[in-house]
């Protein structure tokens, strides 16, 4: 099996080659950008290995920097390595599918009698083995998860678990100690799943979140008093995560459903912090539907008793209110709130939310959101300057956030009349949006396409529109 870190290292190596060629030619990133018709942020992402970019990008760099085909060959070799890994993954998944078919048919197989499922995950090149008790999962009503995982269907898996998590299946518990162990394990899993979402997106995190909800719900029927309140508190935390993942996937109806579940559980647990965060989430959902008055009102309600909230939560809620105010045309109050948010900014570069809800709200994130506010206020030039300055500094773990910011930067370029740059930037965001299952980002990019059609004669615009059309075909 090809180590995913080998692909990451190959991408970084190619980026270092580009930086070396650029510096040898005497160009700064901002000087090379107009020569290759790509933005400085795109060059910076390629040089740091954060983005592989397109073949057209590397062809332009190779030509302008007189690299003699070295950069283009490096990109092609990277692509071949990635395709080899995909082929190996497909082969392994086919083996799992065949084994599952044998098992369902009653034929003996190597995993038939196993009581433990060993889930192997690679993060930053490090293999993490997670043992999952098959019987515990089955008792929690998530047998469909195991079957769908073996068959390689991640999207259907998430929906199947979403259905099963409402059926009230019980988890057999024999002692308070066992309850504590299960809750401790589930609590630790939340941080890992937050990091999975930041690195890989909702497609890869949602099934895990819904699985943990199923486990919590399987416990609830057997618990009373303080142990039940603790389980309900944890359930609210996971339900809120499910709400965000569905929202990011573009499924607002399911997002609202899980926000309501989180609110109910948070009320039962007496968790004032979670209640504030679910109101914050409602505010975000209101901005999605452009209900500006509700978005502002809910954000203000979320921080009404903010002395009880964790500091990153205070920062994130202020950023949300600032965006609502920007949509409402109130520049002064919006900018003031963003300045205030820096007082409580987080420092999470790991992406696992150990600082609490809002841990992603670092100083760089706040400034990227400030760019979004300038865009909402109809000032794309100010937005572009901030996006281009802050995107290269975004921690590697926040890959989905990077794609979101790139899609917004593309809109800013378009509003500023930089049509080809807009198409290039949107195209750079598209692969991450697709692979992560972030339907919201894909929708934003598709929303630009109507304004791009009149400029179809531009190669970058043609490439983006053709790519979008091939997805819909």
DSSP calls for 98-145 = HHHHHHHTT---TTTT-SEEEEEEEETTEEEEEEEEHHHHHHTT-HHH
pLDDT value, residue 119: 46
Beta bridge partner(s), residue 121: 128
pLDDT value, residue 57: 85
pLDDT value, residue 154: 43
Q: How many degrees, rounded to 5, is the angle at CA 444 between CA 441 and CA 449? A: 130
Most confident of 32-41, 102-111, 251-260: 251-260
pLDDT confidence of 171, banded at 50, 70, 90?
confident
Residue 128: CB atoms within 10 Å: 10
Phi-psi region of 132 (alpha: psi -120 to 50; beta: other; left: phi over 0): beta
Q: What distance in Å separates the CA atoms of residue 299 and residue 312, rounded to the nearest whole number?
A: 15
pLDDT at residue 81 above 90? no
Q: Which is it for the CA torsion 435, 437, 439, 441, positive or negative?
A: negative
How many angstroms separate the first and last alpha carbons of the chain? 33
Residues 367-407: pLDDT tens digits? 999 999 999 999 999 999 999 999 998 988 899 899 999 99
pLDDT at residue 341 above 80? yes
pLDDT value, residue 92: 67
**Integer CA distances (angstroms), 39 to 58, 385, 451, 455, in order:** 13, 11, 20, 18
> In this structure, are residues 335 and 343 in contact, taking their beta carbons and an 8 Å threshold?
no
Determine the angle formed by the axes of helices 399-415 and 439-452, rounding to 10 degrees.
20
pTM: 0.69
pLDDT at residue 74 above 80? yes
Q: How many degrees, rounded to 5, is the angle at CA 227 between CA 226 and CA 229? A: 60
Nearest to 171 by CA among 221, 132, 116: 221
Q: What distance in Å separates the CA atoms of residue 120 and residue 292, rounded to the nearest whole number?
A: 44
Name residue, tokens 């283009």.
72
pLDDT value, residue 97: 58
Residues 123-133: pLDDT tens digits? 344 444 444 45
Q: Of residues 88 and 231, which shows the higher confidence score? A: 231
pLDDT value, residue 174: 61
Task: Delineate the domains of the chain, giving CATH numbers in brackets.
Answer: 4-95 (1.10.260.40), 114-265 (no CATH)
- Average pLDDT estimate for 197-209: 92
pLDDT confidence of 156, banded at 50, 70, 90?
very low
pLDDT value, residue 115: 52
Name residue, tokens 């199923």.
214
Helix %, strand %, coil % of the chain (to 5) = 75, 5, 20
DSSP calls for 400-435 = HHHHHHHHHHHHHHHHTT-HHHHHHHHHHHHHHHHH
> Mean of the per-residue pLDDT values for the chain?
84
**Integer CA distances (angstroms), 444 to 365, 411, 433, in order:** 19, 9, 10
Task: For 306-319, give one letter per residue: b (16+ CB within 10 A) or e.
Answer: eeebbbbbbbbbbb
> In this structure, are residues 310 and 357 in contact, taking their beta carbons and an 8 Å threshold?
yes
Which of 227-241, 339-353, 409-423 bottoms out in mean pLDDT, i.e. has the lowest? 339-353
């Amino acid at each position: 099996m090809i180590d995913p870190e080998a692909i990451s290292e190959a991408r970084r190596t190619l980026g270092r080659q580009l930086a070396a060629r650029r510096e040898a030619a005497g160009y700064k990133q901002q000087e090379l950008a107009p020569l290759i018709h790509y933005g400085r942020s795109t060059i910076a992402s390629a040089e740091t290995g954060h983005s592989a970019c397109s073949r057209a990008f590397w062809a332009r760099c190779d030509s302008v920097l007189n690299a003699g085909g070295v950069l283009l060959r490096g990109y092609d070799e990277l692509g071949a390595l990635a395709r080899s890994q995909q082929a190996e993954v497909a082969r392994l998944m086919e083996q799992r599918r065949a084994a599952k078919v044998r098992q369902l048919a009653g034929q003996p197989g190597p995993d038939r009698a196993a009581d433990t499922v060993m889930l192997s995950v690679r993060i930053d090149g490090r293999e993490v083995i997670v043992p999952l008790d098959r019987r515990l999962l089955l008792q929690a009503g998530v047998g469909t998860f195991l079957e769908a995982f073996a068959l390689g269907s991640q999207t259907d898996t998430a929906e199947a678990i979403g259905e099963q998590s409402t059926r009230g299946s019980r988890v057999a518990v024999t002692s308070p100690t066992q309850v504590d162990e299960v809750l401790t394990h589930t609590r630790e899993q939340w941080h890992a799943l937050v990091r999975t979402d930041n690195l890989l997106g909702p497609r890869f995190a949602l099934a895990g979140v819904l699985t943990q909800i199923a486990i919590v719900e399987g416990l609830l029927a057997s618990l009373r008093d303080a142990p039940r309140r603790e389980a309900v508190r944890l359930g609210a935390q996971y339900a809120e995560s499910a709400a965000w993942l569905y929202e990011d996937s573009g499924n607002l109806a399911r997002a609202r459903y899980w926000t309501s579940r989180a609110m109910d559980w948070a009320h039962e647990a007496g968790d004032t912090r979670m209640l504030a965060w679910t109101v914050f989430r409602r505010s975000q959902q209101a901005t999605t539907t452009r209900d500006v008055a509700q978005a502002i009102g809910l954000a203000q309600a979320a921080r009404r008793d903010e002395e009880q909230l964790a500091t990153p939560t205070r920062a994130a809620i202020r950023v949300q209110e600032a965006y609502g105010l920007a949509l409402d045309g109130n520049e002064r109050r919006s900018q003031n709130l963003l300045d205030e948010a820096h007082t409580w900014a987080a420092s999470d570069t790991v992406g696992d939310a150990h600082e609490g809800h809002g841990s992603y709200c670092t100083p760089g994130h706040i400034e990227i959101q400030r760019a979004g506010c300038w865009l909402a206020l109809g000032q794309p030039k100010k937005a572009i300057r901030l996006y281009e300055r802050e995107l290269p500094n975004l921690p590697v773990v926040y890959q989905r956030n990077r794609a979101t910011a790139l899609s917004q930067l593309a809109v800013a370029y378009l509003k500023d009349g930089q049509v080809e740059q807009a198409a290039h930037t949107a195209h750079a965001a598209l692969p991450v949006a697709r692979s992560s299952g972030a339907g919201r980002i894909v929708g934003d990019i598709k929303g630009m396409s109507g304004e791009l059609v009149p400029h179809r004669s531009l190669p970058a615009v043609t490439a983006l529109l053709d790519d979008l059309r091939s997805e819909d075909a």
